Amino acid sequence: MKLDPSANELTIRGFKSAISDKYQLDIEDDGNFVVKDKSSGERLKSKEKAGTFLNLSDVLLKEATEAGIIQKNPQAGKPMPRPGAIIPQLETAADKKVKGVNPRFFAK
């Protein structure tokens, strides 16, 4: 997750503080992080998939997007630089090879 370069240090500290105030992190037996709501102590359920829980990266991404500190598309609203049109080279009669004719007929 890339943070917006215009976000100052105090904004990032506030984001970290808000995460620690809202959520509690635990580690499962297999080493994965479990994100729990600090007020209720329950795991956070996913709104996209039924029967699954949010992982740490989902929670951080959601909170960073809501806080407005996640880096947005730097090319948004700007025209993309594109290379110019490809113009084929014109062949001259000397450069053009004649196909299907034996070269001995061209000897002078």
Give the model confidence (pLDDT) of 31-60 as tens digits: 888 889 998 989 888 888 888 888 888 888
**H or E segment to which residue 57 belongs:** helix 56-67
pLDDT band at residue 100, thresholds of 50, 70 and 90?
low
- DSSP string for residues in 58-95: HHHHHHHHHHT-B---TTTTSPPP-PPPPPPPPPPTTT
Average pLDDT, the chain: 81
Q: Which of 23-27, 40-44, 69-73 has the lowest mean pLDDT?
A: 69-73
Cα(56)–Cα(18) distance, integer angstroms? 14
What is the structure's pLDDT at 68? Answer: 84
Q: Is the pLDDT of residue 89 over 80?
A: no
